[in-house]
Structure 1
Amino acid sequence: MDRVFEEMEFLARSANRGDVLTLVAEAPHDRQSLAAETGASQPTLGRILRDFEKRNWVRATEAGYTATATGRLVAAGLTELSESLAAELHLREISEWLPADDLGFDLKRLGEATITTPTQTRPSAPISRVIELIEAAHRVRIFSHAFNEQTLAAVAEWVADGGEFEGVFAASAIDAVAHETGLRGQLQQLHAADGATIRVVEGAIPLAVTVADDTVSLLLRDENGRLQAAVDTDDPAVESWAADRHGRYWESARPLAESDLDGSE
């Protein structure tokens, strides 16, 4: 492992080393083009390329310097590490509320996600962000352990205006709404709407996920149930995961029944 750490230290001591290796792994480059893209001086590039040649990471060709097979291996590792660290830095503020076991996609996919957190003046900012996405969509799918008052009201109004809604909720979420007179009326209105279909899962749904057309939103809460963030992305891999997870819940769920809405114990 000592030699591995030595090589890692060698690359980390200069950002230009990683940039040069990544560039020549993508396509052959001469020293002039490397200088233009990295901003490194010719003496610096000379030292870097000599060091890379000693390690057999690059070779000189008529088209310019190009990475060897092992050079490409190292460059791919650098790119993956860079993307992972960039995503971690982006998500660090909310990392403690991200579920460790329930996300079926690479967290790097959230590296450019929009993150909305509560503020002193806008404590419900995360919910407002999700509602904003719902109101701009044609089709909305939700699977969730909760159906909060703001989202329920927004969805009911949006469906009345022609939206298409497919919601899967934990039975506990439906029960909580049914025991609030005002909310129960809104849920009954939504249930009766032509554009809405609601299904109920008897077991737990650990996540609160909204798919508004192709944009996926996750609502993150702390261990006490307090809302901490909304994270939304249009990354295709995340959308595919959310659509698949929604479909699985949908297939295992039962239709919402009138008896679910009577508010009785």
Structure 2
Amino acid sequence: MAVPARARRTARRFRRFELRATALYFALLAVILALVGAAARTAAAAAVHRPAWVVVLVLVGVGAVMAGCRGKRHISAARIARRAAVALDEATQTAVEALDAASPAPAVGLVPAGACGGRLGTDPTVLLPETMPEAPVDTVEIAYEALDPDEFEQAVAELCRRDGCLDVDVVGGAGDLGADVVARTSDGRSVVIQCKRYRDGNRVGSQDLQRFGGTCFTLHGADVAVVVTTSDFTAPALDYAEQCGIVCVDGPQLRRWQEGAGPRPWEAQPSAA
């Protein structure tokens, strides 16, 4: 006599734990419990004010339960609880899938190398902060000796603008009283510059320094007084500049200033720029 083979139960698959699905599951369960509690509170209030209605509802409920038991003997509270849990779990998964479909995927944009003054790290989408490099200094050599006096004054004013001076203005001309370029440093100091475009062999003398020294501080209110020349200064002129606190910039020092290799006149010591 052949023994019928017992049907194997399909192994239950365990779903991987998901925090969002679990949280949504308990949220739906809390809503259901809240609704049940509200219904219970409503029934309790009705029992206080309308006891006859409660009796009728109880009788109707008992009759419905008895009818259900006659139609199906195997109904149990445990099975009802399991079915309710399964239905609640399916509702949770449906809600999670709906949320996944509704949420847009995050946009990933590549930032090109060098953008915003940064550098790329191991992740090409992440821009690491980096200190912005200073503006490059123009190192093209200028033949200041070949410029006329007006062009030389404009060239010196451009050096002041390049190195961060504000309110730079060329005021040289008739009646300038020794001031050819005026400017203001970033820390608020007033700079007054006299430009002497001399050829080699024609040095700036002490009389030139004396005329400038008599107006740069008293009339122009200079915090920093500078004399810039394409040639050189005589020894008496340097002595007078040191006594009066005037910064002297000769031809080689002017080239170092233009190349960014030497100090700016407002950063130098008087008569030793």
TM-score, normalised to structure 2, is 0.23
Structure number with bigger Rg: 2
Task: Name whichever structure is richer in helix by fraction.
Answer: 1
Q: Identify which of structures 1 and 2 has the higher relative contact order when contacts are C-alpha pairs closer than 8 Å and 6+ apart.
A: 1
